[in-house]
Amino acid sequence: MTVNAQSETRGFETEAKQLLHLMIHSLYSNKEIFLRELISNASDAADKLRFAALSTPELLQEDTDLKVQIDFDGDANTVSITDNGIGMSRDELVANLGTIAKSGTAQFLESLTGDQKKDAQLIGQFGVGFYSAFMVADEVEVHTRKAGTEANEGTLWKSKGESEYSIEPADKVSRGTMVVLHLKEDAKEFAEAYRLRSIVKKYADHISIPVMMEKQSPPEADEENDKEEKKDIQTEYEAINDAKALWTRSRSEVKDDEYKEFYKHISHDFQDPLQWSHNKVEGKLEYTSLLYIPARAPFDLWNRDAARGLKLYVQRVFIMDDAEQFLPLYLRFVKGVVDSNDISLNVSREILQQDPVVDSMRSALTKRALDMLEKLRKKDKEKYDELWQEFGQVLKEGPAEDFSNREKIGGLLQFTTTQSSGEAQDQGLREYIERIQEGQDKIYYLVAESLKAARSSPHLEIFRKKGIEVILMHDRIDEWLMSHLHEFDGKQFQDVARGELDLGKLDDEVDEKQKEESEKAFEGLVERIKKSLGEQVKEVRLTHRLTDSAACLAIDENDMGAQMRKIMEASGQAVPDSKPIFEINPEHPLIQKLDTEPDEDRFADLTAILFGQASLAEGGQLEDPGEFSSRLNKLLLELAG
């Protein structure tokens, strides 16, 4: 790094160099995107100034009409994008244009797939959209001055997008930022009026401030004025976009493509949204909302502390990005804008948390977001299945966080069941209820470590025999989810591996009679097994849930399941002590053989092997694998001998 009193040259970090190389050589297939990114940044700068001026009006001075201006010079082969927004100080310039050197860069590079189209979609989400300028420019200059500072306090940043950039003091008459692009030879098309205007119309028509370009005069007017006279004529500019906040317009006036482009503007996503809802509320509360459901998850979806929420405007004045108070945490993937007439212009995040108006809006916006998801599921199940792959586990947080909408959220949940043909979680609770057998009053489910473990669980044997559908849950969050979701559509949930199995009306008289007879016949065996296993089990009992397996483990009604235990152990939390219930199948030949085994040592070996097998079938671990192997080998040698 070289430094003098006036300027310094800084080297980009390794990750930044990698990113710039991708930008310049391979990532963007649609080069015109650079203009959208730079106009979007300029629009954000105007929003920030408007907000800052609420408390410090003098920041605006005489220049109150916020705008973005685009100029080009075909001879010099340059394009410049100028705004009169908040501007940047020297330190802010280094920090903001050094975004690529922050932690998000590493995550960005790790997320790259090698697919040019998919990788291009990551750019905006990782906050590196400014660097798209290097797709079309071999040198970029940024002239900026912070609002409220003097003309001699400006800063100039320059880079050729290679290994370094320079930064130096520079006079700047007006506040705001001007980005000058020195275009590459193969990007000369972007120094043409028609090309620039068409890009702005396509990507920035919805920007709420005007995008200005030099007014085009008819060809005959040019012919009438000679070059000397034109030098004295001041350039006239005109707005080339609609310059009206999209959400303030009537739904009938807004085209689908405009909604899609506005979503990309506020979310920095390059993919179209799956669904959106534009709504104006009048009456006791007055506000407008525009909510979007993205097509795919952002990179920080699982960081519950990451910035999230809606863009908040009050009476069309931008207040803050990421106003998280208007939607619950489990809907953190929903993007959009809310514009209220009932909130104070001087609102802060702390005031928002205590405002009853915000509580009412949050309730209404939450229901609207859930309605959007429900509508999408009914209208386009295939598209909803794609959404579920991206956001399903986040929605599963809902029943614990949002009691009032528990039933509504339940209708959005999807799982794999014993009737699913593949591995997709594409079966909803309503579909399950539509298929239940006559006399079935419960929704049966099983929680396991994996779908494979769930499908092979011995707990499903009686259900297969009777043709009863069971929901197979295998996400890490599922056991926690079911501790908060106790019923749906009037039917109780029943974990088939928890407590004693009671099929209610699905059991017939023959089953009941058989149970009573078995309990009497094997009473002595149950006591022998209890004595043999000792402290390893809470209880030993007969079961009729098994048809093929000799034994299985069940969980007591009030005990924590294996999935939750593992999650708590992994996070270093204390786990309450609990023991499994060992259930044996009186119809199985091994159990009948065990009942007649006179040798107590052999009985202990057989019992320990059956208990170990039952633990493994549940996806559990053996306390003493060596002893289990020794006993199994001993039995195998006897059989072979």
* pLDDT score at 102: 46
Provide the 10 A C-beta neighbour count for residue 278. Answer: 19
**In terms of DSSP bridges, do strands 487-488 and 442-447 run parallel, antiparallel, or are they unpaired?**
unpaired
**Out of 3.40.190.10, 3.30.70.270, 1.10.490.10, 3.30.565.10, which CATH number does the structure's domain 2-238 have?**
3.30.565.10
- The fraction of the chain above a pLDDT of 70, given in percent, is 87
The overall average pLDDT reported for the chain is: 84
Query: Pairing state of beta strands 68-73 and 8-11?
Result: unpaired
* Tens digits of residue pLDDT in 233-259: 578 999 998 878 889 889 999 999 999
Query: What number is the average pLDDT over the span 84-89?
Result: 94
Spatial contact of 486 and 492, defined as CB atoms under 8 Å apart: yes
What's the average model confidence in pLDDT over 180-206? Answer: 91
Please, which residues bridge with residue 491 across strands? 488
Highest mean pLDDT among 11-20, 36-45, 552-561: 36-45
Which two three-digit tokens encode residue 123?
């750019």
The helix, strand and coil proportions of the chain, stated in percent and rounded to the nearest 5, come to 45, 20, 35
Angle at 496 between CA 494 and CA 498, to 5 degrees: 85
How would DSSP label each residue in 368-393? HHHHHHHHHHHH-HHHHHHHHHHHHH
Strands 211-214 and 68-73: parallel
Residue 351 sits at the vertex; the CA angle it makes with 345 and 356, to the nearest 5 degrees, is: 95
d(Cα 580, Cα 267) in Å, to the nearest integer?
Answer: 49
Domain boundaries, the chain: 2-238, 247-384, 415-506, 509-640
Asked if residue 398 lies in contact with residue 328, where contact means CB atoms within 8 angstroms, the answer is: yes
- DSSP H or E segment with residue 231: helix 227-231
d(CA 365, CA 287): 11
Q: What fold characterizes domain 509-640?
A: Four Helix Bundle (Hemerythrin (Met), subunit A) (1.20.120)
Give pLDDT tens digits for 28-66.
Answer: 557 888 898 899 889 889 989 988 898 899 999 889 999
User: In this predicted model, which residue has the larger pLDDT, 595 or 79?
Assistant: 79
Q: What band does 124 get if pLDDT is binned at 50, 70 and 90?
A: very low
* φ, ψ at 448 (rounded to 5°): -140, 170
Q: Residue 26 above 80 pLDDT?
A: no
**pLDDT at residue 473, as a whole number:** 93
- Span 318-344, average pLDDT: 89
Q: Which helix (DSSP H) or strand (DSSP E) does residue 288 occupy? A: strand 287-293
| Cα–Cα–Cα angle for 418, 444, 542, rounded to 5 degrees | 100
Confirm if 424 and 416 have CB atoms less than 8 A apart: yes
What whole-number distance in Å separates Cα of residue 478 and Cα of residue 145? 53
The predicted structure's pLDDT at residue 218: 62
| Token duo for residue 75 | 């001879």
Tokens 């079911």 label which residue? 482
Residue 469 contacts by C-beta under 8 Å, 6 or more apart in sequence? 417, 418, 419, 432, 435, 436, 444, 463
Q: Average pLDDT, stretch 353-365?
A: 89
Query: What residues have CB less than 8 Å from 176, skipping those under 6 apart?
Result: 45, 82, 83, 84, 85, 86, 87, 144, 145, 147
Grade residue 353 by pLDDT with cuts at 50, 70 and 90.
confident
- pLDDT value at position 1? 45
Strand bridging mode 211-214 / 237-239: antiparallel
Question: Is residue 457 classed exposed, middle or buried when 0-12, 13-18 and 19+ CB atoms within 10 A define those classes?
Answer: buried
Q: Which residues pair with 156 in a beta bridge?
A: 143, 168
* pLDDT value, residue 184: 93
DSSP 176-218: EEEEEEEE-GGGGGGGSHHHHHHHHHHHSTT-SS-EEEEPPPP
Predicted confidence at residue 205, as pLDDT, reads 78
Beta strands in 378-525 (DSSP E): 414-417, 427-428, 442-447, 471-473, 487-488, 491-495
**What's the CATH fold of domain 247-384?**
Ribosomal Protein S5; domain 2 (3.30.230)
**CATH code of domain 415-506:** 3.40.50.11260
CA–CA dist 474, 417 (Å, integer): 11
Poorest-confidence range of 120-129, 374-383, 446-455, 615-624?
120-129
**Helix ranges (DSSP H) in 302-403:** 349-354, 356-379, 381-395, 398-401
